[in-house]
């Protein structure tokens, strides 16, 4: 009786394991976030803290992505980004980052 129960339990477990691995399951599509939204999010940290960090690389990448949609806006943001990089105190950094967010 115990052997029969163990066999049934084993078969049930195998069925459960393989039923979750259906190759025909639907794929989850990634959420598309616009470059403008990404730029706003990345600029928010310098706008709040007055400090520049690794987000600068991502900001540059997103400006390049924005150029596909709106070249004029991307050019203006590139110029602002250069000024942001040169800013030498927290007040200037905050001001320039907020200005850039306002252009988006």
Q: What is the pLDDT of residues 58-96, one digit of tens each?
A: 999 999 999 999 999 999 999 999 999 999 899 999 999
Kindly report the pTM of this predicted structure. Answer: 0.68
Provide the phi-psi class of 50: left if phi over 0, else alpha when psi is between -120 and 50, else beta.
left
Give the torsion sign (CA, 76, 77, 78, 84).
positive
Q: What is the predicted pLDDT for the residue at 98? A: 95
Residue-wise pLDDT tens digits, 3-12: 655 555 566 5
Residue-wise pLDDT tens digits, 14-23: 655 666 555 6
């Amino acid at each position: 009786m115990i052997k029969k129960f163990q066999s049934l339990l084993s078969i049930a477990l195998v069925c459960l394991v393989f039923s979750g691995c259906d190759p025909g399951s639907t794929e989850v599509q990634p959420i598309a976030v616009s470059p403008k939204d990404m730029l706003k999010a990345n600029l928010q940290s310098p706008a709040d803290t007055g400090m520049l960090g690794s987000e600068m690389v991502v900001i540059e990448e997103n400006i390049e992505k924005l150029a596909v949609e709106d070249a004029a806006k991307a050019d203006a943001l590139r110029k602002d980004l250069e000024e942001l990089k040169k800013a030498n105190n927290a007040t200037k950094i905050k001001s320039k980052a907020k200005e850039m967010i306002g252009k988006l």
